Amino acid sequence: MTMTSTTDSRAVSAAVIAMVAFNGAFLSLNGLFMLINPLAWYELVPGVTDTGFFNQHFVRDIGMIQLFLGVAFILGFVIPERRIGLWAAATLWLSAHALFHFWEVAVGICAPSVIPRDFPAVTMPALFGILLTLWAIRRSRADKLAAA
């Protein structure tokens, strides 16, 4: 299964590549930053200091998750037969994380102003993951039908 086929327009292929590049690069680099310099990450990322005291172990735990998620998107891009599983698993965590942020606002733990602030780093990767996983499922079905 290649990235381009008769079922995908160039615009769709470009969007898929852009979303994979964003999730792969952003999540991997963020995870590496969290692992290499957790205190700097804690102090530099907007809103993080509002969530509680610095905990190096916790930041590094989440850094490993972020790194693995980014790698899952990259591997899914280069290993099409593993794409759905890799992207779906990564997207489940990203979606749960985003929903948790919305829940904190809904119950009054955080102000609604955190939603737009957190959108690029929390909600957008989850949305990209959902779109990519749905695209991969659609592509897999189309490829199976074409082969039949």
pLDDT one-digit tens code per residue, 3-53: 545 557 899 999 999 999 999 999 999 999 999 999 999 999 999 999 899
Cα 141 to Cα 66: distance, rounded to the nearest angstrom: 29
How would DSSP label each residue in 95-131?
A: HHHHHHHHHHHHTTSS-TTHHHHHIIIIIHHHHHHHH
Write down the pLDDT at residue 6. Answer: 55
118 pLDDT band (50/70/90 cuts)? very high
Burial per residue of 112-140, b for 16 or more beta-carbon CB atoms within 10 angstroms, e otherwise = eebbeebeebbbbbbebbbebbebbeebe
Q: Which two tokens stand for residue 74?
A: 């990259």
pTM of the model: 0.91
How would DSSP label each residue in 61-102?
A: HHHHHHHHHHHHHHHHHH-GGGHHHHHHHHHHHHHHHHHHHH
Write down the pLDDT at residue 44. Answer: 97
1 pLDDT band (50/70/90 cuts)? very low
pLDDT one-digit tens code per residue, 62-108: 999 999 999 999 999 999 999 999 999 999 999 999 999 999 999 99
